[in-house]
Chains A and B, each alone.
Chain A
Amino acid sequence: MARLTNDNVELAREIIGRYPRPKSALIPLLHLAQEQDGHLTDDAMAHIGELVGVSSAEVLGTASFYEMFKMEPVGRYMVNICTNISCQLRGGEELLEHAEKTLGIRPGQTTADGLFTLEDVECIAACTEAPCLQVNYRYEHRISNEGFDQLVNDLRAGRRTDIPSHGVLAEVRQHIPDERRAGVVTPEDKAAPVWIPAAGEGER
Chain B
Amino acid sequence: MITDAPRIITSRFDNADSYTLAGYEATGGYQALRKALAMGPAAVADEVKTATLLGRGGAGFPAGVKWGLAPENVWPRYLVVNGDESEPGTYKDRLLMERDPHQLIEGVLLACYAIGCGQAFLYVRGEMAHAQERIAAALNDAYAAGYVGKNILGSDFSVDVVLTWGAGAYIVGEETALIESLEGNRGMPRLKPPYFPAAKGLYMQPTIVNNVETLSNLPWIVNNGGEAFAALGAETSRGTRMFAVSGHVKNPGVFEVEYGVTTFRDLIYAPQYAGGILDDRALKAYIPGGASAPWFFEEHLDLPLEKVTVDRAGSMLGSGAVVVMDETTDAVKACLRVVRFFARESCGKCAPCREGTTWLEKILQRIQDGYGRPSDLDLLMDVSDNISPGIAWPPKQTTICPLGPSAVSPIASALQRFRPEFEARIAQAEEARHSVPVNITKASSHG
Contact = CB atoms under 8 A, between A and B. Distances in A.
Interface of A: 18-21, 23-28, 30-31, 52, 54, 61-63, 65-69, 80, 83-86, 88-90, 122-130, 134, 136-139, 169-177, 179-187, 189-197, 199
A174 B105 CA distance: 13
Interface stretch (B20-28, B338-346, B364-372): B338-346
Given A20-B119, A127-B88, A127-B252, A89 B323 contact: yes
* Closest 3 pairs (CB-CB, A-B): A67-B168, A66-B167, A26-B184
Contacts of B91: 125-129
Given A88-B334, A125-B90, A181-B149, A195 B165 contact: no
B439 interface: no
A122 B126 CA distance: 13
A18 B204 CA distance: 18
B184 A180 contact: no
B253 A128 contact: yes
Contacts of B135: 174
Contacts of A54: 184
A134 B168 CA distance: 13
Contacts of A67: 167-169
B199 to A, nearest CB: 14
A27 B121 CA distance: 14
* Residues of B in contact with A, size category: 35 or more
A174 B89 CA distance: 30
Nearest to B162: A18
26 contacts: A62-B185, A62-B186, A65-B347, A67-B168, A67-B169, A68-B167, A84-B291, A85-B337, A89-B325, A90-B247, A122-B86, A127-B88, A128-B253, A130-B247, A137-B126, A138-B130, A170-B132, A174-B139, A176-B160, A182-B118, A182-B149, A185-B118, A186-B203, A187-B203, A189-B118, A195-B113
B253 to A, nearest CB: 5
B337 A84 contact: yes
Contacts of B246: 86, 89-90, 127-128, 130
A197 B128 contact: no
Contact of A190 (B75, B139, B163, B334): B75
B146 interface: yes
Nearest to B325: A89
B156 interface: yes
B399 interface: no
B390 interface: no
Contacts of B130: 138-139, 170
B168 to A, nearest CB: 3
B10 to A, nearest CB: 14
B252 to A, nearest CB: 4
A91 to B, nearest CB: 11
A68 B75 contact: no
A127 B88 CA distance: 8
B73 interface: yes
B85 A125 contact: yes
A194 B41 CA distance: 11
A122 B345 CA distance: 9
Given A28-B164, A176-B149, A189-B75, A84 B137 contact: no
A144 to B, nearest CB: 16
Contacts of A31: 126, 165, 167
